[in-house]
Amino acid sequence: MPFAEAIRREAGLATAAVGLITDPAQANAIIADGKADLVLLGRELLRNPYWPHHAAKTLGQTLTAPPQYGRVFSG
């Protein structure tokens, strides 16, 4: 992430942070603090494909799923 932050700051390019980002609060802080424009979650999404749903709940946000996924995201 230090590289993404430096490139974003010095070159003014959009950057992505990657690597060992597993906690919703950590991902949110990276974006909120301006360290990167995007967080990539490759391995974490392989381990837990519902990570975005759980992250939204953890951060107090509502995640709207397409109607065909309604039963998966209920409760």
- The b-or-e profile of 28-48 (16+ CB within 10 A means b, else e) is eebeeeebbeebebeebeeee
pTM for this entry = 0.78
Split at pLDDT 50, 70, 90, the class of 39 is very high
pLDDT in tens, 40-57: 999 999 999 989 889 999
Domain total of the chain: 1
Range of the domain at 41: 2-73
Of the chain, the end-to-end C-alpha distance in Å amounts to: 34
34 near 8, Cβ under 8 Å? yes
In the predicted structure, residue 75 carries a pLDDT above the cut 60: no
Looking at every residue in the chain, the average pLDDT score rounds to 89
Instruction: Give the per-residue pLDDT at 74.
Output: 62
Instruction: Give the per-residue pLDDT at 73.
Output: 66
